[in-house]
Amino acid sequence: MNIKFVFLVQFFLFTFLAIQIESHFEFTNFICESFDKTFGEFEYCFLKSVNRTYKYISGKFKPHRLPINKLRVNFALWKRYNGYKPFMYNITFDVCSFLKNRNSNPVIKFIHDSHSNYSNINHSCPLNHDVILEKLPIEILNHRLTKVLPFPEGDYLLRMYWLIGKNRTALAEIYGTLS
Ligand SMILES: *[C@@H]1O[C@H](CO)[C@@H](O)[C@H](O)[C@H]1NC(C)=O
Ligand SMILES: *[C@@H]1O[C@H](CO)[C@@H](O)[C@H](O)[C@H]1NC(C)=O
Ligand SMILES: *[C@@H]1O[C@H](CO)[C@@H](O)[C@H](O)[C@H]1NC(C)=O
Ligand SMILES: *[C@@H]1O[C@H](CO)[C@@H](O)[C@H](O)[C@H]1NC(C)=O
Ligand SMILES: *[C@@H]1O[C@H](CO)[C@@H](O)[C@H](O)[C@H]1NC(C)=O
């Protein structure tokens, strides 16, 4: 076999293993904001550190116009260099179409599956109730971001705009560090 090729495979394998063993994800902030109060408002969203290993984020959005049949979400991943810069993903998708066909986009599926056990939107449209994210623990994301889909180390921001037509009605931002 080609020595160079073997070396390359080893290099990637070891890098991969090193990331798997050493990486650790932490939430650093969770922010949310509603721009159109007639559409709905956040009751709360926060990050809580119970102790060194148990940290979670929770949030609750109260829609004022029910049911919700049409909602798009733009999510973009940002990574910090000198200031946050767009990084890899910038996807706008239709929430109801996705909930109907969850294999339509692997990236959104990954994000959805990462929190669906802790939210109440694991059903198809219409959404006719408050949207709740309840104690999404760091450990789940730690596992999924370092073992299922390894990411390079750094400070990240997942910024999600909720869109009605082209209007931004709400924003949720999750900050985290992979070290
Ligand atoms: C952290 O808090 C959780 C929930 O109260 C508890 O189950 C766990 O044992 C605690 N871990 C440590 C290291 O204290
Ligand atoms: C994502 O794409 C949209 C549409 O192309 C653009 O308006 C927006 O600025 C982009 N966001 C980021 C963070 O690059
Ligand atoms: C969600 O819960 C199911 C059933 O308990 C479990 O099999 C699955 O791995 C969980 N998903 C995540 C991302 O933790
Ligand atoms: C979410 O819904 C899917 C499809 O109906 C199901 O397979 C999965 O177990 C559900 N997960 C939870 C946490 O309820
Ligand atoms: C978007 O916002 C504008 C200005 O506030 C408003 O006139 C328009 O009806 C909104 N569009 C939708 C689809 O909500």
Q: What pLDDT, in 10s, does the model give residues 70-81? A: 999 999 999 999
How is residue 28 written in tokens?
């650093």
Counting ligand 2 atoms within 8 A of each CB, the residue from 73, 87, 88, 90 with the most, and so the one to mutate, is 90
pTM to 2 decimal places: 0.82
37 C-beta neighbours (distance < 10 Å), count: 10
Residue 59, exposed/middle/buried by CB under 10 A (0-12, 13-18, 19+)?
buried
Q: Which atom of ligand 4 is the closest one to the Cα of 116?
A: 13
Kindly report the average pLDDT of the chain as a whole number: 87
Contact 80, 153 (CB under 8 A): no
Mean pLDDT value of segment 73-96: 94
User: Does the CB atom of residue 165 touch ligand 5 within 6 A?
Assistant: yes
SS3 15: helix
Amino acid 9: pLDDT: 52
Residue 155, exposed/middle/buried by CB under 10 A (0-12, 13-18, 19+)?
middle
- Taking the C-alpha atoms of residue 18 and residue 150, their distance in angstroms, rounded to an integer, is 10
